[in-house]
Each structure stands twice: as structure tokens, then as C-alpha cells.
Amino acid sequence: MKYDGISIIIPCYNVEMYLEGCLESIFKQDIENYEIILIDDCSTDKTAKIIKKYEKKYDFIKGIYNEKNSGAGYSRNQALKEAKYNIVSFIDSDDYIEENFYSSMFSKMIKSKADIAVCDIYIRYGEGFVEEDVRNVSGRVNGDKLCFIDNGLAASPCNKLFNKKLLIDNPFAEGIMNEDIPAVLAAVIKSNKIVYDPDTFYNYVQRKSSVQNETLSYKRFDTLAMIPVVSLPITVITAFFIFITFS
């Protein structure tokens, strides 16, 4: 695989208050070859207008505008088809990244010739929460694949860099909750090598309005029907079941 650059994919829906802050954290990165693909999922606020503004200002930013509201899974899959680089990254439009996020993970990925790079996730609690911010450890150096699955936010694509082919072959689920679980789980299992980066982290902002903070629903278990048939140890299956139940 050629490590030629990074395609940064950001699904957007009604994030006029947060999108520019997310983009500014990307502009602070000290890498050269990257593009940003912003997908508006029929927002009802000024999100599409903001995307068009940045698309006009920067030639490395591309906007995709869904014809109907289709969810993050569909948006990510559409962007993967348009991504020009072999390495892809996903950021939620109301989150932000550390200044060394890409340089640190990309360099470790190249050095180890890995298919996936993983860093920790710092959970940032916004208004309405009483919890304190906490760093979620997402792997370990020289760890096996199980250590990248058996943790609280294992299925998030946002703290990872991927070999694009893994997600072309194992796309995101569409039209269900937790649409990232089938794609990320399959990518981890089918990857040749994963490298863990303890030197940076992804900032995951919790908001009361987030879909992920809704009360547990049986819709979460729709994900089980979308998982590709792969040979998984019972410990992996158990960890996955716990994740969708209590995340």
C-alpha cells in the first residue's frame, strides 16, 4: 500500500455551531498531503452554507450534498468512493483533534507498515453533564487484535487511520444505529497489522442532544444482522455484545 496522504471524511448534520471549530483543529495539523470531504445530510440549519464557504475558500476541501437525509453510514460510504488517498480518517463534525493527531499516527503507520493506526479517545463532557473528562485507553503497544476491540469505544472510527481498501470491502451499515460497528469490527479483524499510538488522542465531545446518548433501544441490536461473517474468537464476540449493550 502506498502511504500517499490522508482523506479526512466528516459527515455533517445540523452542526452550524460546531463545524468551524472542528475544521480549525484540522487546519492546525502539521501534515501536507490531505483533503477534507464534508458531507451535508440535508441539514435544516446553516451547515450546508458553511460547507460551501470553506469549499470555495480551500481547494483541498470538497462538499457532498445528500439528496435526502440518509445517516452517517451512507454519508461515509459516499465519501469513501470520492476519497483520493489510500489512508482515510473520520471525524465527527462536533469533535476536535489534537495538533499532533495526524503527524503522530501517520508516521507510526508508515514506520510499521500497518493497515490501521489507533490512538486513545478523550471523552469531553459538555453542558448538562456532571461527569469529569476522562481518557479512554483504546489499545496497547504490541497488543493483539482483541485489545483493540475489548474497550469502551472500540467501534469508533474517529480515533483511527485506515487503509481505505478495508472499508471499501467492509462498508458502513446504513439506516441503523451504531452504523460504524460492522465496518470497524471487520476492518480490525481483517487487517494485517495495527499500530497503537499513545502520544496523541481524539477529543470526543458528549452532548445531551447526541443520538448516542439516548436511552438504550432495541434498535441498537439491528447492528448484529449487519456484521460480515468472519471467524471470531468467543472473547471477541462477548466484548462486542457488551459494547452494543452498554455503550
Q: What was the pLDDT predicted at 219?
A: 43
Q: What was the pLDDT predicted at 210?
A: 56
Q: What was the pLDDT predicted at 130?
A: 75
Separation between Cα atoms, residue 26 and residue 94, nearest integer Å: 12
CA angle 132/138/140 to nearest 5° reads 125
Tell me which residue has cell 499513545: 198
Mean per-residue pLDDT pooled into runs of 10, the chain (247 residues)? 93 97 96 96 98 98 98 97 98 96 97 96 85 90 87 88 97 90 94 96 84 43 45 46 44
Asked if 170 contacts 228 with a C-beta cutoff of 8 angstroms, the reply is yes
Q: What was the pLDDT predicted at 176?
A: 84
Q: What was the pLDDT predicted at 76?
A: 98
One-letter amino acid at 214 equals: E
Asked if 150 contacts 231 with a C-beta cutoff of 8 angstroms, the reply is no
Asked if 61 contacts 87 with a C-beta cutoff of 8 angstroms, the reply is no
**What is the enclosing helix (H) or strand (E) of 3?**
none
Q: What was the pLDDT predicted at 54?
A: 98
Give whole-number Cα distances, 228 to 169, 171, 199, 202, 225, in Å. 10, 10, 32, 27, 8
Tell me which residue has cell 500500500: 1
Q: What was the pLDDT predicted at 146?
A: 87
Q: What was the pLDDT predicted at 150?
A: 79
- Sort strands 34-40 and 61-65 into parallel, antiparallel or unpaired: parallel
Q: What was the pLDDT predicted at 246?
A: 41
Q: What was the pLDDT predicted at 213?
A: 43
Asked if 205 contacts 95 with a C-beta cutoff of 8 angstroms, the reply is yes
Q: What was the pLDDT predicted at 209?
A: 61
